[in-house]
Chain A
């Protein structure tokens, strides 16, 4: 974890693109950005013309030094902030950003000649900080073995599909819960315990594990990991969710 002071920043939107049917990839230029570790998040605060404000957290898909931030925002039906970010926000618009946030759920490359392997487990949009970790690992000299198990509703909901397919240094396993690709032998259904055990690095390898997704997903997967024999200290979690 690299120590960087958290602050409020003014950002400008430099690009927007559809990531899936309901999500958008947004690139921000943040001149005062100190850089961020993989796994960090930001709080985005919007202010309406009448002064009404709403703030929501979004994981950052990018990492490292530099002043560019990449976000992948999924639209929450009837949400406060995400519908604006996904449908209305335009190139050139200003955005208030608070960050980098999160020093617990981050991964940084290690200089250790024999580093522990890393297992990433993502549920839905929980893939964003974990993709950031895999991408950081890809660019680094870190020698650890990396795996990503990514549970997603349908093939059309996959975030960073091309980037994930291009990763040479992370093994990616996709599990589809609602509909699967043509020819896939696995019927679409929720991840089950046996699959988690089979597709993840086992406790004998003492991996560092990062789990991110909705609270029910994170708690189920964490429970299974501990039951399988992973040390509690080896498992780090980040829960996503809306609020009223």
Chain B
């Protein structure tokens, strides 16, 4: 199987954050590389989704849906930056 990119997680992340966050800039806790979430490497399977840093391959995030809950690990992202909402947004 090949990987996809963060565009493929827009829906899953939106269920979590309440809105589309694929424009957020994520910093890799491993190597410090910044990337827009839409451009990170995404391994999407029925086990779950694993997001990885493109240059260093470290795990940025893991998203799993079990029978009763969503389990989310964002510890591979040391920060997420999103533009402030526009007035009235």
Cβ–Cβ contact A244 & B8, under 8 A = no
Query: Which of A5, A102, A214, A216 neighbours the largest number of chain B CB atoms within 10 Å of its CB?
Result: A102
Chain A-chain B contacts (Cβ-Cβ < 8 Å), number: 73
Q: B1-23 CB contact bits vs A (8 Å, 1 = yes)?
A: 11111111011001100011011
Nearest chain B residue, comparing its CB with the CB of A242: B1
B7 / chain A contacts, CB cutoff of 8 Å: 41, 102, 104-105, 238-239
Q: Is A68 an interface residue (CB 8 A)?
A: no
Nearest chain A residue, comparing its CB with the CB of B5: A239
Query: Which of B7, B20, B36, B86 neighbours the largest number of chain A CB atoms within 10 Å of its CB?
Result: B7
Cβ–Cβ contact A243 & B46, under 8 A = yes
Interface positions of A from 224 to 244, Cβ below 8 Å from B: 237-241, 243-244
Whole-angstrom distance between the Cβ of B64 and the nearest chain A Cβ: 14
User: Which of these, A98, A102, A237, A241, contacts B22 with CB under 8 Å?
Assistant: A102
A101 / chain B contacts, CB cutoff of 8 Å: 10-11, 14, 20, 22
Q: B37-77 CB contact bits vs A (8 Å, 1 = yes)?
A: 01100001110000000000000000000000000000000
Cβ–Cβ contact B19 & A6, under 8 A = yes
Apart from A6-B19, A243-B44, A243-B46, list 10 A-B contacts with CB within 8 A: A3-B86, A98-B14, A101-B10, A102-B10, A102-B22, A104-B36, A214-B2, A238-B5, A239-B3, A240-B4
A99 / chain B contacts, CB cutoff of 8 Å: 11
Cβ–Cβ contact B10 & A41, under 8 A = yes
Cβ–Cβ contact B11 & A55, under 8 A = yes
Q: A104-B39, A239-B7, A243-B1 are in contact. Are A5 and B19 (CB under 8 A)?
A: yes
Whole-angstrom distance between the Cβ of A228 and the nearest chain B Cβ: 20
Q: Is A103 an interface residue (CB 8 A)?
A: yes
Query: Which of B3, B36, B38, B85 neighbours the largest number of chain A CB atoms within 10 Å of its CB?
Result: B38
Q: Is A200 an interface residue (CB 8 A)?
A: no
| Complex Cα–Cα for A103 and B11 (A) | 12
Q: A104-B22, A104-B38 are in contact. Are A3 and B89 (CB under 8 A)?
A: yes
Query: Which of B20, B39, B89 neighbours the largest number of chain A CB atoms within 10 Å of its CB?
Result: B20
Q: Is A142 an interface residue (CB 8 A)?
A: no
Cβ–Cβ contact B11 & A43, under 8 A = yes
Nearest chain A residue, comparing its CB with the CB of B47: A244
User: Which of these, A98, A216, A237, contacts B11 with CB under 8 Å?
Assistant: A98
Whole-angstrom distance between the Cβ of B43 and the nearest chain A Cβ: 9
A41 / chain B contacts, CB cutoff of 8 Å: 7, 10
Nearest chain B residue, comparing its CB with the CB of A44: B11
| Complex Cα–Cα for A103 and B21 (A) | 8
Whole-angstrom distance between the Cβ of B85 and the nearest chain A Cβ: 8
B23 / chain A contacts, CB cutoff of 8 Å: 1, 103-104
Q: Is A57 an interface residue (CB 8 A)?
A: yes
| Complex Cα–Cα for A69 and B15 (A) | 21
| Complex Cα–Cα for A41 and B89 (A) | 21
| Complex Cα–Cα for A128 and B15 (A) | 24
User: Which of these, B1, B2, B38, B86, contacts A102 with CB under 8 Å?
Assistant: B38
